[in-house]
Amino acid sequence: MNKKRSDRVREVEATYGAESVGVAELKNQLSEYLRKVKRGMELIVLDHETPIAKLVPMPAPRSTFRLIPPKKPYKDIINVKLHPPLKTPVDIMSILLEDRKDRFP
């Protein structure tokens, strides 16, 4: 009986390409198995030789912020000539403040 079980376990491991562990053993040594998974090991959980779950390490978090280095040195950018200010018949600041007075009392 034990040889038959070992053959089934080996078959499961070959099929899923990962080490397997029974529910009872996983429960008894959970911390140890979680450390292995954290280090990169994949683990198939068996319930009476039937695969019921696969434990895999968490993927590395994707960064939503990416720093792009400048194409020109800062000293080249500081000397850029700006357009002259617009000449308008209205005061732009007063329009802006009027627009924002409800949002920023």
pLDDT digits (tens, 9 = 90+) for 37-51: 999 999 999 999 899
Q: What is the pLDDT of residue 99?
A: 87
Residue ranges covered by each domain of the chain = 2-55
Distance between alpha carbon 13 and the CA centroid of its chain, in Å?
Answer: 27
Q: Per-residue confidence at 5, pLDDT binned at 50, 70, 90?
A: low
pLDDT digits (tens, 9 = 90+) for 15-64: 888 889 999 999 999 999 999 999 999 999 999 989 999 999 998 887 77
CA–CA separation, 29 vs 95, rounded Å?
A: 68
Q: What is the pLDDT of residue 1?
A: 38
Paired with 15 in beta bridges are none
pTM of the model: 0.53
**CB 84 within 8 Å of CB 92:** no
